[in-house]
Amino acid sequence: MTLKILFIGDIMGRAGRKAVSAFLPSLREEHSIDLVIANAENLAHGKGITRATLSEICNAGVDLCTSGNHVWAKPEGVEILQQPDTLLLRPANYPPKTPGVGEKVVAIATKSILVINLMGRDFMPTTVDCPFRALDAILEKYRTTPLAGIIVDIHAETTSEKHAVALYSDGRVSAVVGTHTHVPTADERILPGGTGFQSDTGMIGVRDTLIGVTYESGIKRFLTRMPSHFEIAESGLTVFNSILLAIDSETRKTVSITRIQKEIII
């Protein structure tokens, strides 16, 4: 059996949510998608998550959300993480006793998919535990669990760290997809051990911006090197970046990996 999983990159604010609502229902039908995962740390005006913004994308067809360092930006986000049936993950390599969980088993009919959320350490603003050791611990935890696939979101700044995580886990997980830098990379491929990989899935947000931030508010920091308020662009030509994975449920290997990129005026 081949399972089709769509991973959607970082969803930036209102424009990103609207693009998900515009494209996802038809994509699910067109490609017979079994599971949709999206990085949601930028849902609420570019930083953090609220119940309303999470409900909006889930109603559009997102099944589970990963996140990153901005997941704590809104108090509601922390509350959502602590719900027993939460659809929101935080990076698994935050220290012990941090609210929320970093992995979750999702049922697809009679099959089970393990989704793991990790965060990198190089040049990231938050200090976390080692993502490589965290991955090892999670894989050992589920070693005897019957799984049809394992998907890893590595939320990191550098392509080298994301690539290292992918190579480190090649053959042990179905796919490693990168998030955080908001720029889609053209390096999607299947590694020698059968693990699908892309350095960064990109964003769902207004295209002609500084990765989702208005040029006017973002350029001040480059010109003056002083802290400045970033304003999230909420309308304009909006890009939708995602990766479609086809996974063999018997071998847990990726058999195909395809970028899906669309544009819409919001």
Residues 52, 31: Cα–Cα separation, whole Å: 28
What are φ and ψ of residue 167, in 5° steps? Answer: -65, -35
Residues 94, 118: Cα–Cα separation, whole Å: 9
Domain count of the fold of the chain: 1
Of 31, 45, 70, 180, catalytic: 70
| CATH code for the domain of 117 | 3.60.21.10
Can you give the pTM of this predicted structure? 0.97
CB contact burial 27-51 (16+ within 10 A = b; e otherwise): bbeeeebbbbbbbbbbbbbbbbbbe
70 catalytically annotated: yes
pLDDT at 93: 98
pLDDT at 228: 81
Query: Going residue by residue through the chain (266 aa), what tens digit of pLDDT does each one get?
Result: 999 999 999 999 999 999 999 999 999 999 999 999 999 999 999 999 999 999 999 999 999 999 999 999 999 999 999 999 999 999 999 999 999 999 999 999 999 999 999 999 999 988 899 999 999 999 999 999 999 999 999 999 999 999 999 999 999 999 999 999 999 999 999 999 999 999 999 999 999 999 999 999 989 889 998 888 889 999 999 999 999 999 999 999 999 999 999 999 99
Residue 252, domain extent: 2-265
